[in-house]
């Protein structure tokens, strides 16, 4: 079954069995009030607005039998996989590895590093721990996708211009085609979110495609390939 999803810059064609839903870094430290993100002065509501639509997409992906992959940004407790340049960046008084509101910040096993309850991974769904911004760097994501026969990715999560963008660029260079869901990705900076999405679909889809979750779900639920159409980014 091929599903044709209206998108910018033009319709995205996907076969559910060759498509994975990738959920980037929906972690407590980034999303929950009082966590690392909000401690830095960010408005986490700009990220939490993604949770409800993403729950619906996740439920549909699971019902469709699509491969679902979760990622978490973070480090080993001894920080051996955290480049000194990353640890010192920003001269933060409380940064990666330090005791934070939800345990040591972005350290594996700590409460804040965990995925929010609303999007908890189901048994058998891969959860990739990544030390960098991109989900391909220093992980086995490419191998998992290759072995599962995946060519297309539906990319969601946070933040739009950082880990989502880096992952889409990495995927694009490796020959994967990415559909980014505008309502299922979020940034602390609305202007970066808007421009980040435009950059993906610009120049004929230089990094990929952009649509929203209702548009994707409508086509997945219809289970057919209607006449291809295009949407514009608002
Ligand atoms: C992510 C970040 N996940 N903004 N991390 O985007 O540092």
Work out which ligand 1 atom sits closest to the CA atom of 164. 6
Residue to substitute in 30, 42, 139, 156 for testing ligand 1 pocket (most ligand atoms within 8 angstroms of CB): 30
The pLDDT-based confidence of 19 (bands split at 50, 70, 90) is very high
The pLDDT-based confidence of 27 (bands split at 50, 70, 90) is very high
Q: Average pLDDT in the 158-167 region?
A: 98
Output phi, psi for 103, to 5 deg: 100, -175
The pLDDT-based confidence of 230 (bands split at 50, 70, 90) is low
Tokens of residue 179, six digits: 């559909």
Catalytic: 130? yes
CA of 4 to the centre of ligand 1 (A): 30
Tokens of residue 143, six digits: 């191998």
The fraction of the chain above a pLDDT of 70, given in percent, is 95
Pocket of ligand 1 (CB under 6 A): 25, 30, 73, 158-159, 162-163
CA of 148 to the centre of ligand 1 (A): 27
Catalytic: 163? yes
Say which residues have a Cβ less than 8 Å from residue 218's Cβ, sequence separation at least 6: none
CA of 23 to the centre of ligand 1 (A): 13
Q: Tens digit of pLDDT for each residue in 104-162?
A: 999 999 999 999 999 999 999 999 999 999 999 999 999 999 999 999 999 999 999 99
**Beta-carbon neighbour count of residue 53 at 10 Å?**
19
Burial status of residue 225 (CB atoms within 10 A of its CB: 0-12, 13-18, 19 or more): middle
Do the Cβ atoms of 90 and 121 come closer than 8 Å? no
CA–CA gap between residue 215 and residue 231 (Å, rounded): 10
DSSP reduced 3-state for 104 = strand
Q: What is the pLDDT of residue 225?
A: 40
Residue from 29, 133, 152, 163 carrying the catalytic annotation: 163
**Beta-carbon neighbour count of residue 158 at 10 Å?**
29
Q: Tens digit of pLDDT for each residue in 36-65?
A: 999 999 999 999 999 999 999 999 999 999
**Beta-carbon neighbour count of residue 234 at 10 Å?**
8
Catalytic: 152? no
CA–CA gap between residue 31 and residue 204 (Å, rounded): 32
Residue to substitute in 162, 186, 187, 189 for testing ligand 1 pocket (most ligand atoms within 8 angstroms of CB): 162
**Beta-carbon neighbour count of residue 82 at 10 Å?**
18
CA–CA gap between residue 96 and residue 74 (Å, rounded): 8
Residue from 29, 130, 133, 212 carrying the catalytic annotation: 130
Least Cα distance to 165 among 139, 212, 201 occurs for 201
């Amino acid at each position: 079954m091929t599903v044709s999803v209206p998108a910018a810059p033009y319709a995205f064609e996907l076969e559910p069995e060759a498509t994975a839903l990738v959920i980037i870094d929906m972690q407590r430290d980034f999303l929950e009030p009082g966590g690392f993100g909000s401690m830095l002065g960010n408005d986490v509501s700009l990220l939490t607005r993604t949770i409800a639509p993403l729950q619906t997409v996740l439920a549909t992906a699971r019902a469709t039998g699509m491969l679902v992959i979760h990622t978490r940004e973070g480090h080993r407790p001894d920080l051996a996989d955290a480049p000194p340049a990353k640890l010192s960046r920003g001269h933060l008084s409380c940064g990666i590895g330090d005791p934070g509101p939800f345990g040591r910040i972005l350290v594996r096993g700590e409460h804040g590093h965990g995925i929010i309850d609303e999007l908890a991974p189901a048994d058998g769904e891969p959860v990739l721990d990544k030390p960098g911004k991109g989900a391909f760097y220093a992980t086995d994501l490419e191998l998992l996708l290759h072995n599962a026969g995946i060519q297309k990715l539906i990319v969601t999560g946070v933040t739009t211009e950082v880990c989502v963008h880096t992952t889409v660029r990495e995927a694009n260079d490796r020959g994967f085609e990415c559909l980014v869901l505008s309502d299922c990705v979020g940034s602390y900076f609305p202007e970066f979110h808007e421009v980040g999405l435009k950059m993906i679909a610009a120049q004929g889809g230089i990094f990929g495609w952009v649509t929203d979750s209702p548009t994707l779900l409508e086509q997945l639920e219809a289970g057919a390939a209607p006449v291809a159409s295009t949407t514009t980014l608002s």
